[in-house]
């Protein structure tokens, strides 16, 4: 099923922020959402709606919009108020550690490796921060070339978030990261039993517990 123009517009706007972000990043997150929810979306249709939003003043843009990697969009600084809508949460910066689980060995009992991707996002509320961080991680690790570079033959079998917090800039730039910053590190190994517990939000023998699991794997 193909999404309507209105649905595509809502998705694009939901992944845009009040800071300029690469068009490739914003639209890539839309593609991932549509794929996971069984929606058929072409690049042409998505590009058309992006241009329509910019033309209508619902997005601000810089660069050549026909070249997604070399252009950026953001929400307007002074979007018109809509009294029929509830007030949006204030945009804040969040640090979100995304657990990414790979199948390390298919031999019974199966073994899994857990990597952690620490993502800095600017979002309107914690819930959006979680989904944006997962979408950003998937936009990188769902590519087979990146997966093979880490030593795994298949893309991740689970994405989950175990915590989040608001980002704090220390004085004099002591610990400052830009929006959309990502740092990927190996975290731990898991047995098959612990992997199933993690998927069920249960405590596992390792110091891991999921706060949010990407719905694609439910």
Q: Quick check: 50 pLDDT over 70?
A: yes
Question: Running DSSP on this structure, what letter comes out for residue 40?
Answer: -
Paired residues of 183 in beta bridges: 118
Written as six digits, the tokens of 182 are 């990502």
Say yes or no: 144 and 117 in one domain: yes
CA distance 57 to 50: 11
Model pLDDT, residue 156: 93
Domain boundary, last residue among 74, 101, 121:
74
Q: Which of 157 and 2 is assigned the larger pLDDT?
A: 157
Q: What is the pTM of this model?
A: 0.58
Indicate the number of domains in the chain: 2
Domain with 129 in it: 91-217
74, 109, 126: which is the final residue of a domain? 74
- pLDDT classification of 178: cutoffs 50, 70, 90: low
Q: What is the pLDDT of residues 20-37, one digit of tens each?
A: 888 988 898 888 888 878
Q: 88-134, pLDDT tens digit by residue?
A: 567 788 888 899 999 999 988 899 999 999 988 888 777 778 888 88
């Amino acid at each position: 099923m193909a999404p309507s123009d209105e649905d595509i517009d809502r998705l694009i706007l939901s992944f845009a922020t009040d800071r300029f972000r690469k068009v490739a990043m914003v639209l890539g997150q839309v593609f991932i959402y549509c794929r996971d929810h069984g929606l058929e979306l072409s690049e042409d249709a998505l590009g058309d709606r992006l241009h329509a939003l910019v033309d209508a003043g619902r997005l601000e843009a810089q660069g050549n919009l026909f070249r997604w990697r070399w252009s950026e969009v953001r929400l307007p600084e002074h979007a018109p108020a809509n009294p029929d809508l509830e007030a949006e949460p204030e945009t804040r910066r969040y640090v979100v550690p995304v657990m990414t689980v790979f199948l390390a060995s298919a031999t019974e009992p199966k073994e899994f490796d857990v990597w952690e991707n620490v993502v800095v996002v600017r979002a309107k509320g914690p819930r959006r921060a979680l989904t944006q961080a997962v979408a950003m991680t998937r936009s990188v690790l769902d590519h087979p070339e990146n997966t093979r570079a880490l030593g795994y033959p298949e893309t991740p079998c689970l994405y989950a978030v175990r915590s989040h917090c608001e980002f704090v800039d220390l004085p004099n730039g002591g610990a400052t990261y830009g929006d959309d910053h990502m740092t990927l590190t190996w975290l731990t190994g898991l047995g098959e039993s612990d992997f199933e517990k993690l998927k069920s939000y249960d405590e596992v023998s390792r110091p891991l517990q999921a706060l949010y699991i990407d719905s694609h794997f439910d």
